[in-house]
Amino acid sequence: MDEITSGRSVDIELGGQEVISIDLDNLDPNPEDVLDLLKEGQCKIWVWTKLAGEYWRRGHLDAAERIAQTAIETMQYNGASTALPPVYALLANIQMARARRAPKLILPDAQQDSLHGEKLKEEYYRDAVQYLNTSNKLVVESGENPGTFLFLTRGIQLLASRSLDDALRAFEGVLVEKPTNLVALLGKGRVLYTKRQYKEALRVFQDVLRYSPDCKPDPRIGIGLCLWAMDHKTKAKAAWQRSLEVNPGEWSAQLLLGLESINASKAEGISEEAKSQAFVVGAKMVERAFQANQRNASAANALCELFIRKGQHSRALKLAERTIQFADTLTLLTEGYIRAGRVSHSQGANQHSLRCYSAALEGQPKNTIAAIGMAQMQMQNDEMAAAIHTLDTLMQVPNQRSTEATVMLASLRAYPRPGISSSDLAQEKKRARELYDRALKGLELDDSRHGPSKASRNITDDIDMHIEIARLWQGESIDRVSKAFKDALRISETTGEADPRLVNNLGGLEHLEGRLSEARALYESALIKASQLPSNVSETMSTSMLYNLARAYEDQGDINLAKEAYDKLLSRHPEYVDAKVRQAQMLIDLNKVNEAHDILKQCLVSHPGNLNLRALYAHFLMQNVRINDYKTFREFVFNTLKDHDKYDVYSLCAAAWLHYFQARESRETSPKAIEDRKKNFQKSAELYDKALQIDPHCAYAAQGLAIITAEDALGTMYGALPGPTGDEAQKRNQNIREALDIFAKVRESIHDGCVYVNMGHCYYARDEFDRAIESYETASQRFYHGQNAGLLMCLCRSWYSKAIKDQSLVAMTSALRYAEQSYHIQPSDKVALYNIAMIQQKSAEMLFSIPPPKRTLKDLQRVIDQATHAQKLFASLANDKSHGLPYNRDIADQRRKYGDIMLRKADEHLVAQRKYEAQQLARIEAGRRKREDEKRRQEEEERVRLEELKLEAEKLAEERRIAREQAMEWTREVRMESDEERERRPKKPKKVKHEAPSGDESEPKKKRRGKLRRAGSDQGDEEQPVFSEEEELEKPAKKRPVKKRVVRDDDEEDANGPRKKQFKSKEVLSDTDDEMS
């Protein structure tokens, strides 16, 4: 008979005579001898399972499985198949034990961790299910109870296959019968933890620890995991440390503590030494955990990251492949693929890296690192559109917020890609700006809530990102560009010496904003910083910086310093065209046109194909072109279009302007000349239209067409050219309205005064002189600083027309002021001189036509003096014998003669004005005297009335004084009589009070007396009433004095306001009334 002894052994009886004892603590790894004994002894099934279980417990799975299989064969041979369910359950457990160390998948292209030939985890689980099904089948056939072991095995198998609800029912079925079954409790705890029911799982693991402190697997691991998930990290760490103390060789506690220590090394607010120490401790513990169980995916994953940081790519790749093949969760599988992709990326194996990142995204499409890695690989393959699509897909996931991915996507959208149109590129830049704004605002929000983190600092301290943001805002917002460059400069200064290029860029922004002093200081600082760099780098940087500094000198008006800077720059680089161009412009400003012309021609010789230079030279010729002298300008412009670039927008606009200028200035009236004029207008419009086709945003071409439209150049110029005529006024208004619409749009693109000048012309043509003056004033003050003579004459013309329309001397004076300013700027301008004489004469003419009430003698005398001066000017202009005068001498002489005739009436107007103003002055004086007399009369009446009121008041005060004295006298007399009568009258018995003849004199009067006394006591220091209630009762009626009422001061107030409360017993004024007077 088989029996288990009290020790760790099993006795097997052989043939009833011999008993062999097998020591379970010293089992031979080779089970052949044990199998022979079991077969010979015809042992019961529990002996087989006991020995197989001991082999399994020691890790000899092959031996355990051999014993179980032999047991099945033996029992079937002996016809005892009904006893085999425990053996099949044991085989199922052995298969699940093998599955725990089997790979989840096998990589066909594994480079470092090849597992070809190994059996997959799923295959072991499938075998386990078959064994369990066979066991259940035998149990059903035998009709016996399946037993706890079978239920637990089924629960473990369901838990391994992620059938959590079925597994939980299996474990709870065991716990109903055996509430302290440790395996069932551990299984239930794992199910609850997997379902994220951490509190319930924690209680279950604590029950296991209470029932068996030495239980394996250690419940402290589960307790720590639950506490960690509930954010009790300190307690969780303590639980794992205790587990490691109890079981020093347990790998799970070492792994968890190692990961906790590595995470702690990333915390903010601790010293670098503490971070380093925590990382080293964590790395060692993770490595020990991996050595204890090299087929654990979590340990391999953590150790892989350490080797990636060390740069040991081969070992890191092997661990990443180990993680992928043994991962039992989707998160671990994804991280394994990501780390394999990172290693391959570092090694330059882009295709393998791309496959790894793609596999990671298939498992977790929301994984940010996988998406970023895949986008990087697509960028390496020059697939920018695919990279943008990958990141766009990631950002479209709800509640997905990754600052890194946002910044990367913004940078990709800002990058100009081949095949993208200009409009699409503008939209991409707009999206890039929005993405950068979103990322930076998100970082600011996170920093304000949780403080700045290392990840956020890595992004915000990226100089290249801020420079790219500046490029994106260039042309959109100078403020945003300046802010981005300032941020980049701040970061550059914190990391070391500031980058001179950033300082130079900031100087350029200040220069554009007109802050020349700040720009100059920044340029000088950039030059100093650049000079401290190596010579090859310094020379490249300092060239543009020196040019910018010279421009700042020039704009500040420091011509000498600017010239020195340009000369220094040209001594280093003689062919620096921009510096030569600025020298030429400085000479133009000094009216040294010929010298400037020579410099520009030298530049063209060395750089004939430079379109910017040719555009500048065309502008120079345009500014100096003369009527009937277009040859040089025409040849140069059309040579540019013919030999260099027929699609050059600037040259097309210049050619269009030339045709328009020729047509407008032509004064010939022959049929051929008129036809040529029309053709030039038509050609000008065609060239402007062609420029707009090439560049739809060319504002100058649009403005040229607007001018042609406003002047009806393609029609009859409102009757100036022959042709069919209709309603010219309606046509003019329509054309000018269309032109104004175009000018309003052009104004948003061109920062130039010419747009406002053209708008002023349109308003003037519509007789809207106020709006024309406003436009001219804006152009003059904002762009020309009041120094453009032509624009000043436009203002003069507008004010003159307004004065004529409104008959306003003020407007005429303004017109004269602008004409004089124009003449001051160009003293040789005969047109300005003629206009001054005309305005002065017209001022006198206008005032002469105005009746005296609407003018003053001062203004009249002034305009007469001006008209006298105008006579001298007209005489001078009429006698000028120069050729090509811009006015007609005969008309000037006629204006002089007209002025002589007009001034003959000057004295008459002066006499009339003096007479009128004298009459007005006399009338005003008479009115003033009348008002003064009336004022004196009213003052006298007021004085008399006040004196009468004063006398009445004095009289009334005297009457009141007499009344008070009389009342006081009466009061003293009455008091003396009362005292005498009281002394003569005997005292009455007390009972008389009850025999009062009248009820009104008893109790009610006592109450009334009490009230009077209380009222008297409330008066404090004031004098008491003359009569008390008791005295009034004792007085005979015939002796009562007649009631007299004296008017008090209060009675006057009662007429206008509420009267004060009075006692009926007080019939005369007391002494206290004196205080009220």
Give the residue-averaged pLDDT of 1044-1065. 42
Q: Which amino acid is at 830?
A: K
Structure confidence at residue 725 (pLDDT): 56
DSSP per-residue codes, 444-469: HHHHHHH---HHHHHHHT-HHHHHHH
Contact indicator for 324, 343 with CB cutoff of 8 Å: no
| Mean pLDDT (whole number) for 615-622 | 86
- Give the number of other CB atoms < 10 A from CB of residue 691: 26
pLDDT at residue 791 greater than cutoff 80: yes
Give the burial string for 880-911 (b: 16+ CB within 10 Å, else e): eeeeeeebeeeebeebbeebeebbeebeebee
Q: What is the pLDDT of residues 327-380, one digit of tens each?
A: 888 999 999 999 999 999 988 888 999 999 999 999 888 888 999 999 999 998
Whole-number mean pLDDT of the chain?
82
Q: How would residue 1 be classed by pLDDT, with cut points 50, 70 and 90?
A: very low
C-beta of residue 525 within 8 angstroms of C-beta of residue 545:
no
Instruction: Tell me which residue has tokens 């590595």.
Output: 262
SS3 state at 110? coil
pLDDT surpassing 90 at residue 395: no
In this prediction, residue 714 carries a pLDDT of 63
Spatial separation of the C-alpha atoms in residues 299 and 297, rounded to whole Å? 6
Q: Is the model's pLDDT at 387 over the cut of 60?
A: yes
Please enumerate, as own/partner, the contacts of 797-804 that have beta carbons within 8 Å and a separation of 24 or more. 797/764, 798/760, 798/764, 798/769, 798/772, 798/773, 799/769, 799/773, 800/839, 800/842, 801/764, 801/767, 801/769, 802/769, 802/770, 802/773, 803/842, 803/846, 804/842, 804/846
Here the contacts of 110-115 (C-beta below 8 Å, separation 24 or greater) are 110/321, 110/325, 111/317, 111/321, 112/314, 112/315, 112/317, 112/318, 112/321, 113/318, 113/319, 113/321, 113/322, 113/325, 115/325
What's the confidence (pLDDT) of residue 534? 84
pLDDT at 1069: 34
pLDDT of residue 932: 92
Q: What distance in Å separates the CA atoms of residue 351 and residue 888, rounded to the nearest whole number?
A: 87
| Confidence label for 705 from pLDDT (cuts 50, 70 and 90) | confident
23, β-bridge pairs: 9
- Identify the residue with better confidence: 1023 or 962: 962
Query: CA separation (Å) from 621 to 581, 583, 594, 704?
Result: 14, 17, 12, 19
| CB contact set of 153 (below 8 Å; sequence gap of 6+) | 89, 92, 93, 132, 135
pLDDT digits (tens, 9 = 90+) for 86-106: 888 888 888 888 888 889 888
How deeply is 601 buried, as exposed, middle or buried, from its count of CB atoms within 10 A (0-12, 13-18, 19+)? exposed
- Geometric angle at alpha carbon 972, from 969 and 975, rounded to 5°: 150
Buried b (16+ CB within 10 A) or exposed e, 563-576: bebbeebeeeeeeb
pLDDT tops 70 at residue 485? yes
Contact between residue 290 and residue 303 where contact means Cβ atoms under 8 Å apart: yes
- pLDDT value, residue 724: 52
Q: How far apart are CA 714 and CA 689, in angstroms?
A: 14
In the prediction, which pLDDT does 232 show?
Answer: 93
- One-letter-per-residue 3-state SS of 228-274: HHCCCHHHHHHHHHHHHHHCCCCHHHHHHHHHHHHHHCCCCCCCHHH
Task: Look at residue 997 in the predicted model and tell me its pLDDT.
Answer: 42
The residue written with tokens 């301290």 in the block is 461
Query: What gap in Å lies between CA 372 and CA 405, rounded to an integer?
Result: 6
- How far is the C-alpha of 874 from the C-alpha of 833, rounded, in Å? 9
The lowest-confidence range among 197-211, 524-538, 943-957 is 524-538
Nearest alpha-carbon partner for 531 in 543, 519, 514, 517? 543
Q: For residue range 222-249, what is the model confidence (pLDDT) as tens digits?
A: 999 999 999 999 999 999 999 999 988 8
Backbone angles phi, psi at 532, to 5 degrees: -85, -5
Give the DSSP H or E segment for 637: helix 631-643
Reported as type and span, the H/E element at residue 733 is helix 728-747
Q: Among 760, 809, 748, which residue's Cα sits nearest to residue 788?
A: 760
Pick the range with the lowest mean pLDDT from 50-54, 667-671, 798-802, 864-868. Answer: 667-671
Most confident of 933-937, 992-996, 1005-1009, 1023-1027: 933-937
Q: Which residue from 657, 660, 615 is spatially nearest to 636, judged by alpha carbons?
A: 615
| Average of per-residue pLDDT across 130-149 | 80
- What one-letter code names the amino acid at 853? P
pLDDT digits (tens, 9 = 90+) for 999-1022: 444 344 343 444 334 434 444 443
Gap between the Cα atoms of 393 and 379, Å rounded = 16
Residue-level pLDDT at 1062: 42
Strand partners, 22: 10
pLDDT the model gives residue 276: 87
- Check if the beta carbon of residue 420 is closer than 8 Å to that of residue 431: no
| pTM, entire model | 0.61
Residue 47 neighbours by CB under 8 Å, 6+ apart: 2, 10, 12, 38
